[in-house]
Structure 1
Amino acid sequence: MSTIAVIPGDGIGPEVITSARAVLDAVAAKHAIDLSYTEFDWSCERYAKEGTMMPDDGIETLRGFDAVFLGAVGWPGVPDHVSLWGLLIPIRRAFRQYVNLRPIKVFKGVSSPLRSATDVDFVVVRENVEGEYSEIGGRMNRGFPDEMAVQESIFTRVGVSRIADYALELARTRRGYVTSATKSNGIVHTLPFWDEVVAERAAQFPDVRVDQEHIDALAAKFVLQPQRFDVVVASNLFGDILSDLAAAVAGSIGIAPSANLDPTKTYPSMFEPVHGSAPDIAGKGVANPVGAVWSAAMMLKHLGHPQAAAEVVAAMEATLAQPETRTADLGGSASTTEVTDALVAQLS
């Protein structure tokens, strides 16, 4: 049995989690996979009532699960840094989820805003626990004309080595090509260090071709030449921005999944769509569940069920190909429930 902690979260989170669980139940029944769910109400709504996104023992509560399945975090009235640093980021760091994996694909029937975006199929591997998103820094002289803020970036040899190794090993299972995002011509210490360590690790993988691109040029090439990429490895900030840009290139952030992985499986990994809580459409029954469903497929694969995961992705491809089983953000007419029913039917 695989035990899954479910955190539906805010906005459309509960809606897409409900859809994804229906798909998981269908494919689990087909393959005799035993999944056990425990749901937690950790959210901005909880913060408004109790002053914390999750209880003090939240991390210890999650520690015994095989995976965490998250819907979305964020709601008007709760600052983003409060919601994220109160739930998502502590989970990533406590469980050493140092890989943020973001697959990007243009599916048949989904229109990219780019005319040239055909045969796009690549993965962004984002370093997930250090880099630019550190807790080191502070503010001084608040309220005075000379007020200042300092934010430190932290790049460690261990951190850069392991994310580079993950990307290089992943490339071996794909087209054997890694692009490393950098900005070593402008950021004088951390990014030259990143380049040096990536090059050291790449030397251990002579069968993998490795390029490096400055982040500004790379962002442009994501738009102009998205087909050229296979595996893109990047620091925390660069990977965050690039993966959202790539999702837009693929047609909609509504279908974009992610996995926060501890590749060693010492701790639970966490899976979530990246579309956010979308409060403007919450409760209207029109949310696109595909990002959550694809995240669920990634979770199945991580839990040791690659065939079931592949069948979920195939069901996605079939439903996305038809406008009557696509939601409005993808030019279709289907409701969240109708897309879910179509996915389940594909798996029956």
Structure 2
Amino acid sequence: MTTVVVIPGDGVGPEVTDQAVHVLATLGLGLDLDVLDQVNADRFLRTGVAMTDDEMERARSAGAVLFGAVGDPKVPDPSYARDVLLRLRFELDLYVNHRPAALLADRLSPLRDPALRALDCVVVRENTEGAYAGVGGVLREHTPYELALDGDISTAYGVTRVLEYAFAIARRSVCLVDKANAVPFGGGLWQRRWSEVSAAHPDVGTSHLYVDAAAMRLIQNPTAFDVIVTNNSYGDILSDVTAALAGGPGTAASANLNPRHGVGLFEPVHGSAPDIAGTGRANPVGSVLSAALLLDHLGHGAEADALRAAVRATVAAGTCTPDLGGESSTKEVGAAITAEVG
């Protein structure tokens, strides 16, 4: 039996994760769900503990982790979120952030031209280096002469392995996105590794765009892209652009992966959304589609496809939360998806 650790987290996380768990149970795959519902802001406020070593080990030993959201306005300390989500990403070396984006229904696209709406691409974001690696510091803090420095880290090892993953999943093409004209050292490293890795895949189309041009091109014609590969910070931004083009952040799923040792963490990208927590308005689609990615990861491809089809059918029928123009609650949307699966 495969163990899946479930971390509902904060805000709307428990609400949307609950619906994803219900749908998974409907599939009858015999997954053993290990729910760590004590990993949340309330415990951190009481004890100062974000995630214990035992909880971390349970996540490390599981086949996969289904994650809700982390963050609460009652906790201004940024170390809380770092010690949960970033700890999982870094200690498990989840170097790929895999963000698929596919338009669920034509009416959800913000683009005027119907011929350009059919977005279906993946943003592959390097997940353990870049500007989010936490390298830097502050001198003369809280003075008029304060100096703040954040390092943007790229290594040949880290860049090569994420490029190799991008080519491994490509259906037709890979587009490298960087800013090598303005960031020459890290950009130059990406360019050199790109030349070598792409040469080993002559059957895959390739292209290169600077990040500003890539953002513009996504808006002009998102159908031009199959796989986009880029660094941590650019991938963070561009994957939010693709989420907006696919229907909004409530529909966006992600996988944090290490294809070399098989660990995966799966989460919707909308965050804890504390302003709507407890109102029943949170969209569970991102969490359900994250569960579909989890099933892909565990080798249940047919069930994952059934889950995605159920989401599309539910959205097409108009059973949606308010962010997608509907009037249904979180639970009602989850029940409709479950019924479609059943």
The TM-score range, normalised by the shorter chain, is over 0.9
1:110·1:321 contact (CA, 8 Å) conserved in 2? no
Cα drift, residue 59 of structure 1 = 2.2
1:175-194 aligned within 5 A: 176-194=172-190
CA distance in structure 1 between the aligned counterparts of 2:66 and 2:245, rounded to whole angstroms: 25
Q: State yes or no: 1:252 paired with 2:248.
A: yes
Tell me the SS of whatever aligns to 2:4. Answer: strand
Tell me the SS of whatever aligns to 1:11. Answer: coil
Tell me the SS of whatever aligns to 1:343. Answer: helix
1:68-107 aligned within 5 A: 68-79=65-76, 81-107=78-104
> Equivalent of 1:299, from 290, 294, 311?
294
Cα drift, residue 56 of structure 1 = 4.1
1:7·1:42 contact (CA, 8 Å) conserved in 2? yes
Which amino acid is the alignment partner of residue 294 of structure 1?
A: L
Cα drift, residue 110 of structure 1 = 4.3
Tell me the SS of whatever aligns to 1:138. Answer: strand
Cα drift, residue 8 of structure 1 = 0.3
Which amino acid is the alignment partner of residue 281 of structure 1?
A: I
Equivalences, count:
339
CA distance in structure 2 between the aligned counterparts of 1:48 and 1:114, rounded to whole angstroms: 44
Residue by residue over 1:293-319, the C-alpha shift from the partner in whole angstroms, topping out at 9 and shown as x without a partner, is 000000001011100100000101100
CA distance in structure 2 between the aligned counterparts of 1:262 and 1:96, rounded to whole angstroms: 6
104-113 or 208-217, larger mean C-alpha shift = 104-113
1:74·1:80 contact (CA, 8 Å) conserved in 2? no
Tell me the SS of whatever aligns to 1:114. Answer: coil
1:99·1:163 contact (CA, 8 Å) conserved in 2? yes
Equivalent position of 1:127 in the other structure: 126
Residue by residue over 1:76-110, the C-alpha shift from the partner in whole angstroms, topping out at 9 and shown as x without a partner, is 13237323311111101111111100001111254
Cα drift, residue 135 of structure 1 = 2.2
Tell me the SS of whatever aligns to 1:192. Answer: helix
TM-score by length of 1: 0.94
> Equivalent of 1:64, from 61, 84, 93?
61
2:119·2:245 contact (CA, 8 Å) conserved in 1? no
CA distance in structure 1 between the aligned counterparts of 2:95 and 2:107, rounded to whole angstroms: 31
CA distance in structure 2 between the aligned counterparts of 1:312 and 1:70, rounded to whole angstroms: 18
228-237 or 129-138, larger mean C-alpha shift = 129-138
CA distance in structure 2 between the aligned counterparts of 1:251 and 1:140, rounded to whole angstroms: 43
Equivalent position of 1:238 in the other structure: 234
CA distance in structure 1 between the aligned counterparts of 2:54 and 2:34, rounded to whole angstroms: 16
CA distance in structure 2 between the aligned counterparts of 1:277 and 1:253, rounded to whole angstroms: 12
CA distance in structure 1 between the aligned counterparts of 2:285 and 2:154, rounded to whole angstroms: 34
Which amino acid is the alignment partner of residue 60 of structure 1?
A: E
Cα drift, residue 263 of structure 1 = 0.6
Cα drift, residue 189 of structure 1 = 0.5
2:109·2:246 contact (CA, 8 Å) conserved in 1? yes
Cα drift, residue 50 of structure 1 = 1.2
1:46·1:54 contact (CA, 8 Å) conserved in 2? no
TM-score by length of 2: 0.96
Which amino acid is the alignment partner of residue 101 of structure 1?
A: H
1:1-348 aligned within 5 A: 1-27=1-27, 29=28, 33-40=29-36, 41-79=38-76, 81-108=78-105, 110-116=107-113, 117-171=116-170, 174=171, 176-266=172-262, 268-323=263-318, 325-348=319-342
Which amino acid is the alignment partner of residue 236 of structure 1?
A: N
Tell me the SS of whatever aligns to 1:311. Answer: helix
1:326·1:339 contact (CA, 8 Å) conserved in 2? yes
Residue by residue over 1:38-59, the C-alpha shift from the partner in whole angstroms, topping out at 9 and shown as x without a partner, is 1112122221111122124432
195-204 or 102-111, larger mean C-alpha shift = 102-111
2:5·2:58 contact (CA, 8 Å) conserved in 1? no
CA distance in structure 2 between the aligned counterparts of 1:291 and 1:275, rounded to whole angstroms: 8
CA distance in structure 1 between the aligned counterparts of 2:9 and 2:193, rounded to whole angstroms: 37
42-51 or 296-305, larger mean C-alpha shift = 42-51
Which amino acid is the alignment partner of residue 176 of structure 2?
A: S
CA distance in structure 2 between the aligned counterparts of 1:146 and 1:77, rounded to whole angstroms: 31
CA distance in structure 2 between the aligned counterparts of 1:274 and 1:83, rounded to whole angstroms: 18
CA distance in structure 2 between the aligned counterparts of 1:114 and 1:43, rounded to whole angstroms: 38
Cα drift, residue 327 of structure 1 = 1.1
Which amino acid is the alignment partner of residue 293 of structure 2?
A: M
CA distance in structure 1 between the aligned counterparts of 2:213 and 2:43, rounded to whole angstroms: 42
CA distance in structure 2 between the aligned counterparts of 1:179 and 1:202, rounded to whole angstroms: 10
